[in-house]
Structure 1
Amino acid sequence: MFSRLVVHLGGIPRGDPGGGPAAMNATKSNLAGVVVLYHPEPSVVENIRSYADDVDFLFIVDNSETPDVGLISRLRETFPRAEYISHGANLGIAKALNTGAESALARGYGWLLTMDQDSKAGTRMVPHLAAYLREANPADIGILTPQQLDVTTPEVDAATEAEEVATTMTSGNLLNLAAFRRVGKFEESFFIDYVDHEYCLRLREQGYRILQVNRAVLHHHLGKMRQYRVLGKSMVASHHNYVRRYYITRNRWQVMQRYKARFPEFYRKELKEFWREFYRILLFEEDKLRKVRSIVKGYVHFRKQRFGKL
Structure 2
Amino acid sequence: MRVAAVFTAYHPDERLAAAVEAALRSCASVIVVDNTPAGADGSDPVSSAPALAGPQVTVIAHGRNVGLGAALNIAVRELPADIEAVLFLDQDSELPPEIVPGLVADLDDAAVGIAAPSPWDPKHQRYYCSDARRTDGVSDEEAVITSGMLVRREVLAKVTFNEDMFLDWVDVAFCLDVRRAGWRIVIDWRLRLPHEIGACEVHTKFGRTVHYSHYPAWRLYWIGRNVSILHRGHFASRPRALASSLVFLGERLTNTLLFEPRRRTHVPALLRGFRDGFRERVDPRYLPAGAEHPAVRR
TM-score (norm 1): 0.82
Q: Which amino acid is 1:144 matched to?
A: A
Q: Once the two structures are superposed, what CA deviation does each residue of 1:65-104 show, in whole Å capped at 9, x if it has no partner?
A: 1386553231456744111111210011111111111212
The separation in 2 between residues aligned to 1:190 and 1:39, in whole angstroms, is 20
SS for the counterpart of 2:25 is: helix
> Residue 204 of structure 1: CA displacement?
1.1
Q: Which amino acid is 1:108 matched to?
A: D
Q: How does 1:1-310 map to 2 (within 5 A)?
A: 27=1, 30-66=2-38, 70-76=45-51, 79-104=54-79, 107-134=81-108, 137-138=109-110, 140-150=111-121, 154=126, 159-182=135-158, 184-307=159-282, 308=293
> Residue 128 of structure 1: CA displacement?
1.3
The answer on whether the counterparts of 1:125 and 1:215 sit within 8 Å (CA) in structure 2 is no
Structure 2, unmatched stretches of 5+, are: 283-292
Structure 1, unmatched stretches of 5+, are: 1-26
> Residue 155 of structure 1: CA displacement?
5.2
The separation in 2 between residues aligned to 1:79 and 1:274, in whole angstroms, is 43
The separation in 2 between residues aligned to 1:221 and 1:304, in whole angstroms, is 32
C-alpha change, 1:119 and 1:263, in structure 2 (3 Å) is farther
The separation in 2 between residues aligned to 1:186 and 1:77, in whole angstroms, is 25
The separation in 2 between residues aligned to 1:77 and 1:50, in whole angstroms, is 12
The answer on whether the counterparts of 1:52 and 1:79 sit within 8 Å (CA) in structure 2 is no
CA RMSD of aligned residues (A): 2.2
The answer on whether the counterparts of 1:152 and 1:236 sit within 8 Å (CA) in structure 2 is no
* Identical-residue share of aligned pairs (%): 26
> Residue 262 of structure 1: CA displacement?
4.6
Q: Once the two structures are superposed, what CA deviation does each residue of 1:141-196 show, in whole Å capped at 9, x if it has no partner?
A: 221111100167715987422111111110011011211212x3101111111110
The separation in 2 between residues aligned to 1:70 and 1:63, in whole angstroms, is 13
Q: Which amino acid is 2:26 matched to?
A: D
The separation in 2 between residues aligned to 1:260 and 1:220, in whole angstroms, is 28
The separation in 2 between residues aligned to 1:115 and 1:75, in whole angstroms, is 19
C-alpha change, 1:73 and 1:252, in structure 2 (3 Å) is same
C-alpha change, 1:123 and 1:269, in structure 2 (3 Å) is same
C-alpha change, 1:236 and 1:133, in structure 2 (3 Å) is same
The separation in 1 between residues aligned to 2:144 and 2:35, in whole angstroms, is 22
Q: Which has the higher helix share?
A: 1
SS for the counterpart of 1:114 is: strand
C-alpha change, 1:205 and 1:84, in structure 2 (3 Å) is same
The answer on whether the counterparts of 2:118 and 2:127 sit within 8 Å (CA) in structure 1 is no
The separation in 1 between residues aligned to 2:222 and 2:65, in whole angstroms, is 15
